[in-house]
Amino acid sequence: MLAKINKGVNDKEMVAAAQAVVQSGIKLSVTVILGLAGRDRERSKRHAEETAKLINFINPHYLAALVLMLEPKTILYRKMQSGKFTLPTAYEILEKLRIMVANLEVENCIFRSILASNYLALRGTLSQDKEELLKLIDSILKNRDLRLLRPDYLRGF
CATH, range 11-154: 3.30.750
Is the entire prediction scored with pTM above 0.85?
yes
Closest CA to 106 of 136, 128, 133, 122: 128
Residue 120: which region, alpha, beta or left (left: phi > 0; alpha: psi -120 to 50)? beta
Q: What is the pLDDT along the chain (157 residues), one digit of tens a residue?
A: 655 665 666 788 888 999 899 889 999 999 999 999 999 889 999 999 999 999 999 999 999 999 999 989 888 899 999 999 999 999 999 999 999 999 999 999 999 999 889 999 999 999 899 999 999 999 999 999 888 899 888 887 5
Listed by start position, the domains of the chain span 11-154
